[in-house]
Structure 1
Amino acid sequence: MSTLSEQERLHHFRNMKVGTANGPFEMAPWQTAYTSNDAHDEKDVVEELTARLSRTLDTVKDVIADSIVPSHHATPFSHLRMIDALSTDIAQIRHFYDLALHKLRCQVFASNALVAPITRIPDDIMAMVFEAAADPLRKESRFLYYLLGSNTHSNHRPSQITIAAVCSKWRKLAHNTPELWGTMIINETLVPEAVDEWCLRGKNAPLDLVLTLQNCMEEARSHKIAFLNRVSHRLRSLKLLGHLPSLDHAAEEWSEPAPHLQKYEVEHNGCACTDVTTSRHVTTVYIRDPSSLPALRSFTIYLLSPWRTVPTFEGCFSGTLEVLSLRFTSSPLPDLGATLRLLAGVPALRLLRLLGVKFCDKVHTEACPTIDGLDAVVLHQLRTLEITSSYNYSCNSAICYKWLPLLDAPKLQTINVNNSQLWQREICSIDRQLTS
């Protein structure tokens, strides 16, 4: 590769990135997915290309030989049939040629990328490198570090700012790549001017947003909800974290369409605010109606709070959801019947997480009163079920799993319950009772 001219290098690189072979083939490391160099092994393809070329040349040589030394068996019509039949072989040769060329390009660039001068890397490739190193806009604090990433250094600044300070070329490239500015974590201490500038550079690129509503002052909440409505059309994922009254108001005041929102998460926590201008009266389920979010595929909700009446979520979830995470608390015990009715409204689920579950406290009784009179819910598309219990993590034998058979999932492939397999004994016992 080092012997190629810059023009040849760019020619091969761009063709490798696009690919010209018919049919599917593996991606290069700088495309949308990464595969190891073993997947780019060109040996088999080159051998196949050589074999096909050899057979085609042998056929052509036979036709030429017959033309020079006429045989009573060879006629122009037989030669015509032989040459015409080569069209399929030639098409296959072209296919294997393109595929071998693509694999060789991948191998060459994968093995020589580190020594290529960085100034010669095309702008679109450099933008992809910058995207891989991009950081969210955030005001670091001990409280927020777990929301996205694990960097707790208060003096850390986003890599995009450092990149833009290197030289005029990198600055122009960073400022002209909206995807670099697509993640934000907004809390009370983040400077509004920084939020506006970051949002401006992101233009209309998809936005992943974490918004905290930890202040029950109406002025603080209204400013954030106004921003949420302003960027709603860009949202790809959204996490709302805050006090229940503020989340309740946000559910009512966030009204702009979010046609591209795929992932939605709502987490509430306790409120100890002394300065309160937000009403503490909760009248809704503190989530926006998922049916108004047409692209939503993943939803996480913290369902219960031990210090207030639990609102109902029945009928609130979109039937197109594929991933649903429900987090419970054990005081008071959650309503299993309401949970089953909720799940019946999301038939397209492929992954279900039930976190902090404790539907029954009658652990040592043979019969479970919690499941009496309840019908199973059928989840035809469910592939994965993940469950964590809210107590006795170190003693799985003391956990009641008698409600599990009420989840009828004929295509279920994976179950993970507190990383234990002990629940299988209870399932087998229940099955024997049902069939006896």
Structure 2
Amino acid sequence: IHTLPNELLTLIFEAGSVLTYPSLVEPKSPFVLITVKKVSSFMNTVMHVCHRWRQVAIHTPALWTTLHISRSRKALDNLPSVKDFRNPMPWVTEHLMRSQCLPLDISLDCRHISIKSVFNQLIPESHRWRSLVIIIPSVQDLPNALSSLKKIPAPALETLEITSLKYHDSIAPNLSSFRDGLSPNLSHIRLNRVSLSWLAFPLKGLTTLDLRFVIWPTFSHLADMLSGSPNLQNLILHIDNTAAKLLDRRDRAAISIPSLRSLEIRLFSQGSPTICPFLQIFSIPALESLTLREVTSSDWCRILVYFRV
């Protein structure tokens, strides 16, 4: 392998740089504290093979486009002073420089870092952001996490994911609308345990909306949100008990999503709510794939009625 020319090594490294990483968080229940997964990047692997690979990797911009920004509790406790907590992270600056002009995929675990300091490093490169994942300890930390991003253009941003590690008790902080017209290419949104109310709808380019145990709006508010997303093709709803009351359709017309191709519904219920009312919320004539997770046997009997020809 030491006989491979640098040009071929570079091509191999570039191919490895596009490997997909598993999601850092996966909420399986609305109440259990989410654990953030540790992910080792392909870049870290090749940097530790040998001196030559390290030198080639340093000069391969594609290897430096993924930034998992976090700090362990132990590293936080070992900082000499508060000033060091607020200082820029040198390795982040290094990644931004070595990635040159390529699109950036960024994840922020906000628990033990200075959000303001990190965004001061990232915002000058906001035109390169391709995906942004923000992990906060609780929903009450969301205003602080988003305050630095007001009116910051991110024209290349395609994916936005925000997760609260703790359950929210359906209490949302007051937030003004966010990303209104600043991310015209935003097509994929995933929200875990946070509110929809701060997100600026309509989102005309939205194709995938993934909502897991969020702070739900009312039925009318949800209908207004989705009516402005004519290209929505994939909808994932992981629902808890609070949604059963807030999303009650009653005698109102179903929410029309004519472009929807895929729908997934998972009901985490403590008590009597069933999944059947949620099937009646939407009018989805183009649906091709329906996934119902953790459905009870009694629910199946009710569901089959909807599929009789």
Band of TM-score, shorter chain: 0.7 to 0.9
| RMSD between aligned residues | 3.8
Residues 1:224 and 2:110 are matched in the alignment: no
Match of 2:67? 184
- After TM superposition, the structure 1 = structure 2 runs for residues 255-294 of structure 1, keeping only pairs within 5 Å, are 255-270=151-166, 282-284=173-175, 288-289=178-179, 291-294=181-184
Could you tell me the TM-score, scaled by structure 2's length?
0.73
2:201 pairs with 1:328: no
1:186-205 pair list within 5 angstroms? 186-189=69-72, 192-205=89-102
The one-letter code sitting in structure 2 at the alignment partner of 1:178 is P
Q: Which amino acid aligns with 1:292?
A: L
What is the distance in 2 between the residues matched to 1:131 and 1:314? 35
In structure 1, the residue matched to 2:37 is: 146
How many Å separate the matches in 1 of 2:304 and 2:225? Answer: 26
2:255 pairs with 1:377: yes
Measured at CA, do residues 315 and 403 of structure 1 come closer, stay the same or move farther in structure 2, by a change above 3 Å?
A: same
Partner residue in 2 for 1:73: none
Distance change >3 Å, CA 258–CA 398, structure 1 → 2:
closer
Matched, 1:355 2:250: no
What does residue 417 of structure 1 align with?
A: 292
What CA distance in whole angstroms lies between the structure 2 residues aligned with 1:241 and 1:250?
9
Q: CA deviation at 1:214?
A: 2.1
Rate the CA distance shift 1:315–1:157 in 2: closer, same or farther, 3 A: closer
The secondary structure found in structure 2 opposite 1:352 is strand
Q: Distance in 1 between matches of 2:101 and 2:179?
A: 24
Does the 8 Å CA contact 1:317/1:345 hold for their aligned counterparts? yes
* Cα distance between partner residues in 1 of 2:193 and 2:273: 24
Contact 1:133 1:159 in 2 (8 A): no
- The code of the aligned residue for 1:267 comes to T
2:283 is matched with 408
Q: Which moved more, 1:192-201 or 1:418-427?
A: 418-427
2-structure distance, mates of 1:398, 1:384: 23
Q: Which has the higher helix share?
A: 1
What amino acid is aligned across from residue 285 of structure 2 in structure 1?
P
The answer to whether 1:247 aligns with 2:142 is yes
Deviations for 1:133-177, whole angstroms, at most 9, x for unmatched residues? 4599xxx9xx87526x4x59xxx99124225x432xx44432221
Equivalent in the alignment of 1:83? none
CA distance in 2, matches of 1:146, 1:241: 11
Contact 2:179 2:200 in 1 (8 A): no
Q: Give the distance between the partners of 2:229 and 2:117, measured in 1 at CA.
A: 34
Amino acid at match of 2:62: E
Tell me the amino acid that sits aligned with residue 51 of structure 2: V
Residues 234 and 258 in structure 1, CA contact (< 8 A), matched pair in contact too: yes
Which runs of no fewer than 5 residues in structure 1 stay unpaired? 1-116, 272-280, 305-309, 362-368
8 Å contact 2:61–2:100 — kept in the other structure?
yes
Q: Secondary structure at the match of 1:237?
A: strand
Percent identity between the two aligned chains: 22
Task: Return the TM-score normalized by structure 1.
Answer: 0.53
2:220 matched to 1:337? yes
Residue 296 of structure 1 aligns to a residue whose secondary structure is coil
User: Would the aligned equivalents of 2:257 and 2:282 in 1 still touch at CA under 8 Å?
Assistant: yes
Q: Deviations over 1:184-229 (max 9, x none)?
A: 11124588122222222111111111012225xxx92210221231
Amino acid at match of 2:292: V
Alpha-carbon distance in 1 for matches of 2:91, 2:67: 10
Contact 1:349 1:379 in 2 (8 A): yes
Equivalence for 2:129:
235
Task: Tell me the equivalent position of 2:56.
Answer: 173
Give 1:126 deviation, angstroms.
2.2
Letter in 1 for 2:3: T
The separation in 1 between residues aligned to 2:303 and 2:89, in whole angstroms, is 54
Structure with greater Cα Rg: 1
Question: What's the offset of the Cα at 1:233?
Answer: 1.6
Give the C-alpha shift of residue 409 in structure 1: 1.1
Contact 1:405 1:427 in 2 (8 A): no
TM-superposed deviation, 1:382: 0.8
Between structures 1 and 2, the one with greater strand share: 2
Change (3 A) 1:159 1:289: same
Q: Kindly tell me the number of residue pairs found equivalent between the two proteins.
A: 273
How much does 1:128 deviate? 3.0
- Contact 2:239 / 2:267 at 8 angstroms: preserved in 1? yes
Q: Equivalents in 2 of 1:262, 1:431: separation in Å?
A: 35
Task: Compute the displacement of 1:355 (Å).
Answer: 1.4
Matches within 5 A, 1:393-404: 399-404=274-279
